[in-house]
């Protein structure tokens, strides 16, 4: 039956994409409620040819809801969790608030979709970099158990939000006009620059973004002792993340076998043309659903090693699309 659905954080980059994807995939909705902060209240949005207005988030707005898709930050999700649960609604949360909670499934539908049935009212959407990584690691893990992963990320500015995306264009223009300016949204200007991810630094000198990849990947792949190290970098790209991935397997894995496995994996497309040096680029995936992989090769520095490269849209598969795909797993088939 069509559902009463709320999008919490409907004005943000991910929130807006959620609305687009709900329409594109014809998600069965009887009523759509757009919830936002006081700052974004009253914003008019066209959805399915209807004009909707964003509402300030209050307790009343959660009445009789079936599903809440939240992308408004962890503190907002925590604030409204009990209200959502009291309404017997399901919360699919894009924040990191509940991801490592043992009672909360952390889901990439193509990887561990069957675990959605274990939810107690909350399902967590993984971090964007983790979604892209696990989508690719899972099929390869079938060929031989993955022992260790070293990943470097090249993260688009969309991960820092709508304002950061707009600012990148402005700072780049100013730089080209010989008038370079400091960033007001990020710690440093991204105009012809890059910097190590500025999430809070932890006591082990990894940042939160890097440890999300370690902890979330272990949970999604269900490999508790997976050895993983990540270096996360923010780069001057608009909305697609890229990742350089080095994998150590238990046994030898031939690149051609890995390629065949990836070619038949849902949500993945292969872009690999050694003759013309043509491999995935952010522009190949921007605004699209698939994650593009390529540049598979034997790691010459170790036995049982494989190197590969991926690009994926941070706002779609990295967040909004994955959340809607989780919701689709729970809709009774017609
Ligand atoms: C980033 N992963 O790219 C975050 C977005 N939530 O900064």
Q: Does 40 belong to an annotated binding site?
A: yes
Ligand 1 atom 7: residue of nearest CA: 159
pLDDT digits (tens, 9 = 90+) for 234-260: 999 999 999 999 999 999 999 999 999
Instruction: Measure 128 CA to ligand 1 centroid, in angstroms.
Output: 6
237 SS3 class? coil
Q: What percent of the chain has pLDDT over 90?
A: 96
Distance CA 41, CA 122 (A): 26
- End-to-end CA gap in the chain: 9
Q: Which atom of ligand 1 is nearest to the CA of 160?
A: 7
Q: Is the pLDDT of residue 334 over 70?
A: no
Distance CA 22, CA 328 (A): 10
Ligand 1 atom 4: residue of nearest CA: 159
pLDDT, mean over the chain: 96
Q: What pLDDT is recorded for position 7? A: 97
Q: Is the pLDDT of residue 282 over 80?
A: yes
128 lines ligand 1 (CB under 6 A): yes
Q: Which residue blocks in 117-254 are alpha helix, DSSP H?
A: 128-141, 162-176, 208-221
pLDDT digits (tens, 9 = 90+) for 177-233: 999 999 999 999 999 999 999 999 999 999 999 999 999 999 999 999 999 999 999
Q: Is the pLDDT of residue 291 over 90?
A: yes
pLDDT digits (tens, 9 = 90+) for 43-97: 999 999 999 999 999 999 999 999 999 999 999 999 999 999 999 999 999 999 9
Q: What pLDDT is recorded for position 217? A: 98
- Reported as a pLDDT band with limits 50, 70 and 90, residue 39 is confident
Q: What pLDDT is recorded for position 38? A: 84
pTM of the model: 0.97
160 lines ligand 1 (CB under 6 A): yes
**How many helices and strands (H and E) does the chain possess?**
9, 15
Q: What percent of the chain has pLDDT over 70?
A: 99
- Reported as a pLDDT band with limits 50, 70 and 90, residue 170 is very high
- Judged by average pLDDT, the poorest of 39-43, 52-56, 113-117, 311-315 is 39-43
Q: Is the pLDDT of residue 3 over 90?
A: yes
pLDDT digits (tens, 9 = 90+) for 123-143: 999 999 999 999 999 999 999
Ligand 1 atom 6: residue of nearest CA: 159
Query: What number is the ipTM of this complex?
Result: 0.96
305 lines ligand 1 (CB under 6 A): no
Q: Is the pLDDT of residue 37 over 90?
A: no
What average pLDDT score do residues 110-125 get?
A: 97
Beta bridge partners of 195: 234
272 SS3 class? coil
Distance CA 12, CA 15 (A): 5
Ligand 1, from 95, 128, 235: best to mutate by most atoms within 8 Å of Cβ?
A: 128
Q: What pLDDT is recorded for position 333? A: 64
159 lines ligand 1 (CB under 6 A): yes
Cβ–Cβ < 8 Å for 298, 306: yes
Ligand 1 atom 5: residue of nearest CA: 159
Task: State the DSSP code for 157.
Answer: G
Q: Is the pLDDT of residue 107 over 70?
A: yes
Q: What residues contact residue 131 under an 8 Å CB cut-off, 6+ apart? A: 108, 125, 312, 317, 318, 319, 322
Task: State the DSSP code for 188.
Answer: S
127 lines ligand 1 (CB under 6 A): yes
Q: Does 99 belong to an annotated binding site?
A: yes
Q: Is the dihedral of CA 81, 83, 85, 90 positive or negative?
A: negative
């Amino acid at each position: 039956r069509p559902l009463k659905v709320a999008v919490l954080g409907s004005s943000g980059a991910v929130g807006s994409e959620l609305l687009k994807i709900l329409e594109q995939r014809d998600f069965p909705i009887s009523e759509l409620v757009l919830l936002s902060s006081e700052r974004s209240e009253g914003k008019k949005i066209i959805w399915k040819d209807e004009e909707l207005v964003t509402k300030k988030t209050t307790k009343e707005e959660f009445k009789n809801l079936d599903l809440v898709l939240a992308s408004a930050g962890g503190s907002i999700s925590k604030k409204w969790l009990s209200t959502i649960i009291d309404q017997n609604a399901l919360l699919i949360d894009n924040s990191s608030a509940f991801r490592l909670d043992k009672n909360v499934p952390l889901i990439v539908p193509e990887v561990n979709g069957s675990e959605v049935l274990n939810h107690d009212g909350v399902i967590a959407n993984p971090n964007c970099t983790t979604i892209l990584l696990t989508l690719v690691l899972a099929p390869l893990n079938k060929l031989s158990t993955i022992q260790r992963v070293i990943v470097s990320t090249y993260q688009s500015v969309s991960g820092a939000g709508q304002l950061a995306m707009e600012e990148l264009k402005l700072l780049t223009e100013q730089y080209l006009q010989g008038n370079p300016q400091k960033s007001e949204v990020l710690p440093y200007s991204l105009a012809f620059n890059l910097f190590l991810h500025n999430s809070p630094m932890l006591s082990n000198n990894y940042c939160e973004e890097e440890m999300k990849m370690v902890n979330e990947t272990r949970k999604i792949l269900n490999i508790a002792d997976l050895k993983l190290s990540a270096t996360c970098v923010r780069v001057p790209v608009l909305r697609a993340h890229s990742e350089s991935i080095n994998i150590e397997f238990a046994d030898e894995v031939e690149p051609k076998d890995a390629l065949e496995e990836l070619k038949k994996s849902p949500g993945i497309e292969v872009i690999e043309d050694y003759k013309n040096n043509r491999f995935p680029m952010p522009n190949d995936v921007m605004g699209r659903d698939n994650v593009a992989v390529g540049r598979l090769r034997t790691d010459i520095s170790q036995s049982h090693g494989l190197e590969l490269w991926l690009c994926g849209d941070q706002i779609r598969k990295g967040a909004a699309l994955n959340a809607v795909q989780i919701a689709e797993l729970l809709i009774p088939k017609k």
